[in-house]
Chains A and B, each alone.
Chain A
Amino acid sequence: MAVRPLFWFASFTLLIGCGQAVDPNTAGAGLVELLPTAAALDGWSIEEDPVEYSPDTLYEYLDGGAPLYLDYGFQRLAQGRYRMDDGRPSGITIDIFDMGSPLGAFGIYASIRPPEAALRPRETEGYRSGTVAAAWRGDVYVHGEADDDSPELIEALERLMAETSAGLTGDASWPAILAALPADGLVHSSERFVATDLLGHAFLPGGILATYEIEGREVHLFFSDLGSEAAATRGLADLRAHEARRGEIVGGSPTFGAAGFRFSDPGMGTGTAVAADRFVAGVYGDLPHDSQEGLLERLVTRLAPSASGD
């Protein structure tokens, strides 16, 4: 297939830069006001005054995790701690993050969402998995965690998350860049936005990752916006050089011609990568190249302006 110039993502670059959008949740009221009051739960109280963290102090709370949140555009965090009035020591922590953009909030949310998590039937997407619950909407990401899995705490965690989620009023729609992913075979809730170093490559400035099921096996699709055709060509060359060092360049791609190459990587399995306009895209997994490239071809086609309808 000849790779056509792809321009429909005129807003992609704007969207991918976190921290620009304004969310009604944070433009007016503060994050602290989004924390449920003690009145939301009979027999519970807020343990201490809510604690707030800024980009400069986030490390005091997240042991080693702060850089990841900062990469996603972290602006502020309000934390509430809830405890039962009966004096038992365990309780619940609710963290409300202003991530600066819907893409940043989705990105950090999806980065921890377990693939098997059952989503809550709310307009604000969220889930609970064991003692952890999370949700996102607009610029806001909410993380709740119970100290243990006793029924009382889990029930209260669910109620606090529901209460918090109900207060979120930002745009509930998914980031537009995810629309480029083909729908067929997409594993539920596997879509992710990675803010930097996609697949661990400093030359890829972040992008989208998703998992598909093909012939009963999992393969992974990725794409990254390098900003220009020249940059994408360089990015693909860097990726090829990396695979030549770490794995093996199997050869050219019959599907993509000179625009792509096939590789075999010790950690990723077999794969194909391609430069398409300003994007570097690829597929990898534990399947023969021919079986995977159809999926990549569909992605590249969906990146084309005529297919997008934009």
Chain B
Amino acid sequence: MALFGNSIDRRAFLKLSAATTGMAFGGCSRAGEFSGPATGAEMLYRPLGDTGLKVSEVSFGSYGFDNPALLLAALDAGITTICTSANYQDNRAEEKIGEAIATIGSRRDELVVFTGTDVRPGTSKQGYLDAIDGSLRRLRTERVEIYRVSGISSPDALRVDAFHEAVHEAQRAGKVGYAGMSGHHGGMEECLEAATDDGRFRVLLTKYDFASYPGQDEILRRAAQRGLGTIVFKTNAGNRKKEIKDLEKGGLSFTQATVKWALTNPYVASVCVGITNFDQIGEYVGAAGKPLTDPENAMLHHYADEMYDKYCRFCGECEVGCPHGVAVADVNRYAMYFKYYGREKDSMHLYEALPDGCSAAACESCSAPCEPRCPFGREVRAELLEAHRVLSFSRA
């Protein structure tokens, strides 16, 4: 569940997660022959929308993966859902998954394999068909359950006819089960809405955490009502190591807690996690089918509280209320470049290049109607004035 709802109230978290924990398990089933011998834990499975597919609550994210033995161990632990892409290490991840698939015989039927490609301007239907065939060849399989268009950052990227025509043809040929989309950029809410309304996508893959994306719960609920299934990733809300290390001192696992938290949402079918070593398999599988405990809940609450107003998420919500048309997200991003990335000169040039009226100079005498619109309660006006001060220093 999104932590704070539309108003993103800091205190809403504990109530929400406690209320939804019980809901999460209604549609689950337990493992078939996969019983988790490597971990002692037991994987649960959830329906993926109305596709008829069942996915493991934890999915195998394959970026950086290059040892088929690791995937086989994950399968033995019940992780039957595999997320990959032709883009991952320029095909290498698919090839290594293919090496594993080639050894498992009929167990392939128990897998749900996601792969896909970025939408690129000008790519023809045949280009996408070739991409699908290339993925199947590397994966050493005759079909993938989901073929997704990835790297989505605008609704327009969802409406590339050549992609849909290719997927449709591949579906008729039995090469692809369903079309999906994935993305993690700002503006994802708009993209998820558009994908839901499009009617051609059956699966959403999206970033989802307890400190961002306030409107996402409603979007996922609406998608579920239309029969779409959702798999989420990047559930660790920035994964700030320093803060996490302190919070884990009591023996808790932040990683497990974030996976459990995401799975409290009944509209989340699976959490995709990057798995690069054997130890992670046990840690992630240990989170499946388990309720979020009070100490874990408190840990996430503490983390979210600490991170709550620490950074601008560049969502642009506040820009709508600006009477001067200040490019708030851009200004804050340039200030970030200036302060943290050592790009002083560059950021000042970028700021200077903003169209007239988009700079933060107008904030000085403004009543700041932007601030109530910030979902995270940030002091937008003061931040913009500070950004203007450092970014326009050379003009002084």
**Do A and B share a complex?**
yes
Contacts of B72 in A (CB 8 A): 266-267
Q: Which of B91, B103, B184 contacts A114 (CB 8 A)?
A: B91
Task: Select one of A112, A194, A267 contacting B90, CB under 8 A.
Answer: A112
Q: Are B151 and A63 in contact (CB under 8 A)?
A: yes
Expressed in whole angstroms, the minimum distance between the Cβ of A169 and any Cβ of chain B is: 22
The complex places the Cα of A89 from the Cα of B341 at a distance, in Å, of 32
B123, A148: Cβ atoms closer than 8 Å: yes
Q: Which residues of B contact A248 (CB under 8 A)?
A: none
CB-CB contacts of B327-341 with A at 8 A, as 1s and 0s? Answer: 000000000010011
With A63-B184, A90-B123 known as contacts, the answer to whether A56 contacts B88 (CB < 8 A) is no
Residue A28 is within 8 A (CB to CB) of chain B in the complex: no
Q: How far is the CA of A196 from the CA of B69 in the complex (A)?
A: 16
Does the CB pair A63–B67 fall under 8 Å?
A: no
Chain B residues whose CB sits within 8 angstroms of the CB of A60 once the complex forms? 184-185
Contact check, A148 vs B124: say whether CB atoms are below 8 A apart.
yes
* In contact, A196 and B122 (Cβ under 8 angstroms): no
* B121 surroundings in chain A (CB, below 8 A): 89-91, 147
Task: List B contacts of A135 (CB < 8 A).
Answer: none
Q: A122: CB under 8 A from chain B?
A: no
| Contact indicator B73/A111 (Cβ below 8 Å) | no
CB closest chain-A residue, reference B70? A200
A147 CB → nearest B CB, Å:
4
Q: Are A197 and B276 in contact (CB under 8 A)?
A: yes
Binds A, one of B18-26, B58-66, B222-230, B248-256: B58-66
| Residue pair B63, A197 in contact (C-beta under 8 Å) | no
CA distance A59 to B337 in the complex (A): 16
The answer to whether A246 has its CB under 8 Å from any CB of chain B is yes
Known contacts A147-B120, A201-B278, A268-B69; decide if A54 and B63 are in contact (CB<8 Å). no
Contact with B along A54-75 (1 / 0, CB 8 A): 1010011001110110010000
In the complex, the answer to whether A267 meets B276 with C-beta atoms within 8 Å is: no
Interface string of A194-205 (1 = CB under 8 A from B): 101101111000
List which B83-133 residues lie within 8 A (CB) of chain A: 85, 87-92, 100, 103, 120-124, 127
A199 touching B123, Cβ below 8 Å: no
Q: Determine if B279 is an interface residue (Cβ-Cβ < 8 Å).
A: yes
B68 within 8 A of A: yes
A111 to B276 Cα, complex, angstroms: 14
CA of A56 to CA of B310, assembled, Å: 14
A68 partner, pick from B64, B73, B91, B341, beta carbons under 8 A: B64
What residues on B are CB-neighbors of A68 within 8 Å?
A: 63-64, 89
Q: A65's contact among B63, B91, B120, B343, by CB below 8 Å, is which?
A: B63
Per-residue 0/1 for B174-215: is the Cβ within 8 Å of any A Cβ (1 yes, 0 no)? Answer: 000000001111000000000000000000000000000000
Number of B residues with CB within 8 Å of any CB on chain A:
46
CA distance A200 to B85 in the complex (A): 20
| Interface residue ranges of B143-193 to A (CB < 8 Å) | 150-151, 182-185
B122 touches A148 (CB 8 A): yes
Q: A2 → chain B, closest Cβ, in Å?
A: 30
State whether the Cβ of B274 lies closer than 8 Å to any Cβ in chain A: yes
Give the distance in Å from the alpha carbon of A219 to the alpha carbon of B122 in the complex.
42
A64 to B276, CA, bound (A): 12
A147-B121, A200-B276, A267-B72 are known contacts. Are A132 and B90 too (CB-CB below 8 A)? yes
Q: Is A163's CB within 8 Å of the partner chain B?
A: no
Complex interface: chain A residues within 8 A of B103 (CB): 266-267
Q: Is A245 an interface residue (CB 8 A)?
A: yes
Q: What's the least CB distance linking A118 to chain B, in Å? A: 15
Please state if B123 and A111 are interface contacts (CB–CB under 8 Å). Answer: no
A88→B122 contact, CB < 8 A: yes
B184 and A201: CB pair below 8 A?
Answer: no
User: Is B88 a contact partner of A65 (Cβ separation < 8 A)?
Assistant: yes
User: CB of A125 within 8 A of chain B?
Assistant: no
Chain B CB within 10 Å, residue with most, of A242, A245, A267: A267
Q: In residues 238-291 of chain B, which contact A (Cβ within 8 Å)?
A: 274, 276-280
The answer to whether A245 and B274 touch across the interface, beta carbons within 8 angstroms, is no
Q: In the complex, what distance in Å separates the CA atom of A60 from the CA atom of B185?
A: 6
Given contacts A63-B150, A200-B278, A267-B103, whether A147 and B122 have CB atoms under 8 Å apart is: yes
Least distance between B208 CB and chain A CB atoms (Å): 14
Which listed residue, B120, B124, B274, touches A64 by the CB 8 Å rule?
Answer: B274
Asked if B233 is at the interface of the complex by the 8 Å CB criterion, the answer is yes
Which of the residues A52, A147, A201 comes within 8 Å of B123, measured between beta carbons? A147
For B69, B73, B280, which residue has the most chain A Cβ atoms within 10 angstroms?
Answer: B69
- Indicate if the CB atoms of B63 and A64 lie closer than 8 Å: yes
Closest chain B residue, CB of each to CB of A71? B64
Contact of A266 among B69, B277, B340 (CB under 8 A): B69
- 15 further contact pairs, Cβ within 8 A, besides A112-B90, A147-B120: A52-B337, A60-B185, A63-B183, A63-B184, A68-B64, A68-B89, A89-B121, A111-B66, A112-B89, A147-B121, A149-B127, A200-B277, A201-B278, A202-B279, A265-B69
Task: Give 29 CB contacts A-B under 8 Å.
Answer: A60-B184, A63-B87, A63-B184, A64-B61, A64-B233, A64-B234, A65-B64, A65-B88, A65-B89, A67-B64, A89-B122, A90-B121, A90-B122, A114-B90, A114-B92, A129-B90, A147-B121, A196-B276, A197-B277, A199-B67, A200-B70, A200-B276, A200-B278, A201-B278, A266-B103, A267-B68, A267-B69, A267-B71, A267-B73
